[in-house]
Amino acid sequence: MEIPILPQNMVAQLYKDIGVNLENYNADGFTKELLPYCKSIAGTKVPENFSDLMCYDEKKSAGELDAENSLIVYKNLQNLTPYQARDERVLSAISHVFLAKFAVFRHKIVLDEKEKKIERHFFARSNAGRDIERYNVVGRLWWHGYFVDRCREEHSLEELVHVLCTDTDFRQSFIERPGISIIPQVALAVILCKRRLDTENPDNTFFKGRTDSSPNRRWYKMINLAGGTRLYAAMSSQELFDLFWSYMGQVSGE
Amino acid sequence: MKYFPFKSFGYPVLAPHSGDQDGDEDYVGHTFEPSFYVTVPPDKPNVIRIEVENYFSVPSIKLAVTSKNAMLLLNVSCRDTFFSKCFEVPIAGGTIEMQGDMLSGQVDYSLFIRADKKFILKSDDINHEFGYKEFEVSPGSLIAQSATWRFLVNKEFYRNPRSIITINVDPELKDGEFIVSLDNPYIEVSTSAKLNKQVNGMMASEISKTYAINALYVPVVTHALTVLEQREELLENKWAQVLTSQLATIRQDHDVRDERHNEAQALFRFPLSVISMEGS
């Protein structure tokens, strides 16, 4: 079926009525009730059993789960454009209609802070829309897949999504730096540095810590400073990888 | 000439006028200020076109481009969609096109001249504080950069301003009461059930629609524009981008008084969809 889209008035009403509808936010969700209110996006496709395709393996870490599910979401929401994937009407529709069961599982939406978690994971409105790639149950997974796909060149989507998502410290530190992450070649070079670091030193703690003295903070700072006097967007991913890898060596050696 | 250790390239870079004292420029008396014109072609509604017009006042930099030692690059980036791309631009200027659905919200763009080969750049106008009138340019280094400009991609920009206002029912409100929230992408208006029913009824008829617009939508937009003036951070929200962009466009062809309620009326009197129809 085509990807549904809720009217904005309905999204606003649902958001306002979270407290009233608290019991509906469970594994069975709103699936059937909301579809009659939705229009659909022509040319797109979503499997009707989308929820069943998701990975619910409790043995996996949060990062591993996100990697698996990013790939599932990105591949199964066919022909969704970046413009549409920034639209709360689309993300709320998918979250409510298809992914309630998964949201309850992944984000542990039970009694504790239930309203706050529903606001975060079923909607996409706070922080000028930037919570789309942080919290919305479908938005965050789709954007991780898209983030890698737009920059991966000849590399494997599956492998790089795992590199991006599995270490949640790395993912968070990276995606939240738009100055670095929006340029595809820069993004790829950073992911490839992370991959090589993990291969050569599997027990590294490079991306742990968020203080000024943390290695990753110093590394990003070096990348940012060099980017002030070069046009990264016009450089190749190989040139950037060589540069960033040398910075990583410098930081690790300090 | 001021030196900013974290911004300086360490060599002369042609840049836009900084607004500082004359003589502060890296190339004294020269600035890099190309013209840009952003449009959506009528025959390609999903395409965003940027036309670039160049003007070079430093002959040696122009020569670097014509002799293919350097190239002009238009860098376009969009935070919301993680879009970033460099487009090569001919020396005389040119046009680049992008698919609109790759972009959303604020899009930044600027023009650069980047060296592709090693060469010597000479100019008598290089600021004396550098201590030289020629220097070796290495491949990959920037020799000129324009200011960064921006445009906004919101399909609502081309629709009636009502498209960025949502209305929901709050059972705690009575009769004609309504409350407005501006902290979300859309303006959210909560009304009493009674008012909601009345407004919906009036909007269904062409005759009574004007009353609904003047009774609810105009006051809401008036309030939104007033608050926006005091809280610039709200410009991050889609409704603020749409309203300000639409007003700017309407003002190109119509006189609109400065008061917020007049601006709100103008937005509903001349929505861009109507203007587009007038123009076609």
| pLDDT for A169 | 92
Q: Are A180 and A227 in contact (CB under 8 A)?
A: yes
- Say yes or no for a CB contact (<8 Å) between A86 and B169: no
The whole-number pLDDT of residue B2 equals: 46
Indicate whether B6 pLDDT > 50: no
Q: A201 at the B interface (CB within 8 A)?
A: no
Check CB contact under 8 Å for A8 and B85.
no
Question: Could you give the CA distance from residue B23 to residue B28 in angstroms, rounded to a whole number?
Answer: 5
What would the DSSP string read from start to end of chain B? ----TTT--SS--B----SS-TT-SSBTT-----EEEEE--TT-TTEEEEEEE-----HHHHHHHHTTSEEEEEEEEETTTTEEEEEEE-TT-EEEEEEGGG--EEEEEEEEEEE-S-EEEE-TTB-GGGS-SEEEEPTTBEEEE---EEEEE-GGGGS-GGGGEEEEE-TT--TT-EEEE-SSSSEEEEE-HHHHHHHHHHHTSHHHHHHHIIIIIHHHHHHHHHHHHH-GGGGGSHHHHHHHHHHHHHHHHS---SSHHHHHHHHHHS-HHHHHHHH-
Higher pLDDT: B138 or A211? It is B138
Residue among B141, B153, B169 minimizing CB distance to A13: B169
Tokens 């936010």 locate to A25
Task: Determine the pLDDT at residue B50.
Answer: 95
Q: Is A230 on the interface with B (CB under 8 A)?
A: yes
Q: Note the pLDDT tens digit of each residue in B164-208.
A: 898 889 989 988 889 999 988 889 999 999 998 888 888 888 788
* A82 interaction partners in chain B (CB closer than 8 Å): 80-83, 101-104
Write out pLDDT tens, residues B208-223: 888 888 888 999 999 9
CA separation for the pair B8, B11 (Å, rounded): 8
Residue A98, classed as helix, strand or coil, is coil
CB contact under 8 Å between A233 and B85, yes or no, is yes
Among chain B, residues having any CB pair with chain A shorter than 8 Å are 6-10, 73, 75, 77-86, 100-105, 112, 114, 140-142, 153, 155, 166-170, 183-186, 188, 190, 236-238
**Beta-carbon pairs below 8 A across chains A and B:** 104
Q: Is A253 helix (H, G, I), strand (E, B) or coil?
A: helix
Q: So what's the pLDDT on residue B212? A: 84
Instruction: Specify the 3-state DSSP secondary structure of A71.
Output: helix
Compute the nearest-CA separation of B25 from chain A (Å): 17
Cα distance between residue B203 and residue B209, in whole Å:
5
Structure tokens at B56: 């070079």
Instruction: Average the pLDDT over B99-116 and give the result.
Output: 92
Who among A8, A143, A184 is closest to B166 (CB)? Answer: A8
Residue B270: pLDDT above 90? no
Q: What is the DSSP letter of A211?
A: S
Contact B104 A86 (CB under 8 A): yes
Using CB atoms, which residue from A83, A231, A235 is nearest to B100? A83
Mutate to test the interface with A, among B84, B98, B164 (most CBs of A within 10 A): B84
Query: A119 at the B interface (CB within 8 A)?
Result: no
The pLDDT value given to residue A106: 93
Instruction: Judge whether A80 and A167 are in contact, CB under 8 Å.
Output: no
- Tell me: pLDDT of B276 over 80: no
Q: What is the pLDDT of residue B274?
A: 52
Residue with more model confidence, B157 or A72: A72
In contact, A125 and B237? CB cutoff 8 Å? no
Across chain B, mean pLDDT equals 86
Question: Is there a contact between B190 and A16 if contact means CB atoms under 8 Å apart?
Answer: yes
Query: d(Cα A124, Cα A138) in Å, to the nearest integer?
Result: 10
CB contact under 8 A, B86 and A231: yes
Residues in Cβ contact with B237 at an 8 Å cutoff, skipping those fewer than 6 apart: A128, B182, B183, B184, B185, B186
Between strands B165-169 and B187-191, the pairing is: parallel
Question: How far from the centroid of its chain's Cα atoms is residue B140's Cα?
Answer: 28
Nearest to A51 by CA among A114, A117, A98: A98
Q: How far is A132 from chain B (nearest CA, A)?
A: 10
User: Rounded mean pLDDT of B242-256?
Assistant: 85
Q: Best of A9, A89, A132 to disrupt the B interface by mutation (most B CBs within 10 Å)?
A: A9
Helix (H) or strand (E) holding A26: none
Q: Is A228 on the interface with B (CB under 8 A)?
A: yes
Q: Are B109 and B131 a contacting pair, CB within 8 Å?
A: no
pLDDT confidence bin for B272, thresholds 50/70/90: low
Q: Is the pLDDT of residue B67 over 50?
A: yes
Give yes or no for A63 touching B (CB within 8 A): no
| Residue B268: predicted pLDDT | 85
Taking residues B105-130, report their average pLDDT: 93
Estimate to the nearest angstrom the gap between the alpha carbon of A126 and the chain centroid: 16
- Per the listing, tokens 């680049």 go with B96
Amino acid at B183: D
pLDDT in tens, chain A (254 residues): 999 999 888 998 999 899 988 988 988 877 678 888 899 999 999 999 999 999 999 999 999 999 999 999 999 999 999 999 999 999 999 999 999 999 999 999 887 889 999 999 999 876 666 788 889 999 999 999 999 999 999 999 999 999 999 999 999 889 888 888 899 999 999 999 999 999 999 999 999 988 888 999 999 999 998 887 788 988 999 999 999 999 999 998 86
Mean pLDDT computed over B22-43: 87
Instruction: Specify the pTM.
Output: 0.84
- The H-or-E segment that residue A202 falls in is none
Question: Bridge partners of B70?
Answer: B115
pLDDT at B10 over 60: yes
Chain A positions in Cβ-Cβ contact with residue B112 (cut-off 8 Å):
231, 234
Using alpha carbons only, what angle is made at residue B127 by residues B122 and B133, rounded to the nearest 5 degrees?
A: 25
Minimal CA–CA distance to A134: which of A153, A120, A154?
A: A120
pLDDT recorded at residue A163: 97
φ/ψ of B82, rounded to 5, equals 50, 45
What mean pLDDT is predicted for residues B38-42? 86
A79–B contact, CB cutoff 8 A: no
Cα nearest neighbour of B101 on chain A? A83
What pLDDT shows up at residue B18?
A: 67
B255 contacts B271 by C-beta, under 8 angstroms: no
Q: If you measure CA to CA, which chain A residue comes closest to B85?
A: A233
Nearest CA in chain B to A231: B142
Tokens of A35: 């579809």
Q: How far is CA A6 from CA A88, A136, A139, B32, B241, in A?
A: 9, 15, 15, 47, 22
* Encoded tokens for B150: 């921006």
Contact B77 A147 (CB under 8 A): no
Cβ atoms within 10 Å, residue B52: 21
Residue of A14, A41, A74, A83 best to disrupt the B interface, most CBs of B under 10 A: A83
Asked if B266 contacts B256 with a C-beta cutoff of 8 angstroms, the reply is: yes
Q: Please report the pLDDT score of residue A167 as a whole number.
A: 94
What band does B20 get if pLDDT is binned at 50, 70 and 90? low
Q: Which residues of chain B make contact with A129, given a CB cutoff of 8 A? A: 80, 105, 185, 238
* ipTM of the complex model: 0.89
The reply to whether residue A83 touches residue B153, judged by beta carbons under 8 angstroms, is yes
